[in-house]
Amino acid sequence: MGQQLCGINSVGTHNYQIMAFAPSILATLGFDQPDISGFVVTSVGFVSSVIFAPMIHKFRRKLLWMIGFVLMMISFIAFLISQDTNAHSALKVFFLCMFVSVFQLGPGPVVWFISVEMFPVRAVAAAQGVATFFNWVANTIVFLIFPILLDKIGDRVLIVFIVFQILVLIYSTFFVMETLDRTPEDVLDDYQSFNFFSDD
């Protein structure tokens, strides 16, 4: 759910145009050509997915996941600062592009690898089904709530996503195990032996 609640669909990288809110954000902020700016943002997402794809097999899943969330949080914070300081529109678009780009580095693809690699083959289908269900639940929440918040509080809606990003980072630090080059049994053993309150 963290993959969706980070705010990615709010800036328009979803495959379905109905969920692409980038033009709405940019129009709200006074951009003269929000559709063009939205196209730039989504194009950056596509190009970044191609560039970053090989990295998923070379670097640890958890590392990419965490780095992605940290950089996305920085992108939104920088965007809000640029908005408050009346920075040039191009700079604001840059920060949105940065957000979309680093999503493709980690949170975008990594979640699907982890959900497969942490379960034995016999349980992968069921696990993927559950993961996809909750992914769409979060997606629907964003789809329903985001336009309302955008209308009420404008760009400050991004603060909500920043909070979710922080919560995901905290959760991931303690409860997400590394799965790269490990068997599902090893990963599950880590979870079974994990005790948050242990002194060891």
For the entire predicted model, the pTM comes to 0.77
User: Residue 95: what pLDDT?
Assistant: 87
Q: Give the up-direction half-sphere exposure of residue 185: CA atoms within 13 A in the CB hemisphere.
A: 0
Question: Mean per-residue pLDDT for 170-196?
Answer: 80
Does the pLDDT of residue 40 top 90, yes or no?
no
Arithmetic mean of pLDDT over the chain: 78
Q: Provide the pLDDT confidence category of residue 20 given band limits of 50, 70 and 90.
A: very low
| 20 vs 140: which has the higher pLDDT | 140
User: Residue 17: what pLDDT?
Assistant: 33
User: Residue 92: what pLDDT?
Assistant: 80
Domain ranges of the chain: 21-194
- 50-102 confidence digits (pLDDT tens): 888 888 888 888 899 999 999 999 999 998 898 888 777 778 888 888 888 89
Does the pLDDT of residue 21 top 60, yes or no?
no
| CA–CA dist 163, 158 (Å, integer) | 9
Architecture of the CATH domain 21-194: Up-down Bundle (1.20)
Percent of the chain that is helix, strand, coil (3-state, to 5): 80, 0, 20
Does the pLDDT of residue 18 top 50, yes or no?
no
Does the pLDDT of residue 199 top 70, yes or no?
no
- 143-179 confidence digits (pLDDT tens): 788 778 878 887 788 888 899 999 999 988 888 888 8
Q: Provide the pLDDT confidence category of residue 134 given band limits of 50, 70 and 90.
A: confident
